[in-house]
Amino acid sequence: MPAFHTKTIESILEPVAQQVSRLVILHEEAEDGNAMPDLEKPVQAVSRAVTNLVKVGKETINSSDDNILRQDMPAALQRVERAAKLLEEASALLKDDPYSQPARKKLIEGARGL
């Protein structure tokens, strides 16, 4: 894989990885019975990064001759989009109830999906 592809992929995935790591740390801190902080801004950052990742993924699909990539990538992109949606849902639920267990489960499921 050419170096520019690696740098491009790294620049797209790094913001997702940083924000997901931050969400996991916040969740771990809240496991001691503490309220979850407002996650709106970090979740928005994840959503923007995922939107960019999906855009680049779709462009890659359209320009690739790799049949396996063209076959498997759309489902992977859908899973990533669903994971980001779970984070958005968790953020909204936690804003209303910082102790919400269903919201915390969505948060973890979304983070795992990314």
Domain residue spans of the chain: 35-113
**Residue 52's pLDDT is what?**
87
**CATH architecture label of 35-113:** Up-down Bundle (1.20)
Per-residue pLDDT for 83 more than 90? yes
CA distances from 32 to 24, 25, 40, 42, 77 (A): 14, 12, 21, 21, 34
Average pLDDT over the chain reads 83
The band of 45, judged by pLDDT with boundaries at 50, 70 and 90, is confident
pTM: 0.78
The band of 8, judged by pLDDT with boundaries at 50, 70 and 90, is low
**Residue 103's pLDDT is what?**
92
**Residue 14's pLDDT is what?**
75
The band of 27, judged by pLDDT with boundaries at 50, 70 and 90, is low
**Residue 9's pLDDT is what?**
64
CB 46 within 8 A of CB 114: yes
Per-residue pLDDT for 97 more than 50? yes
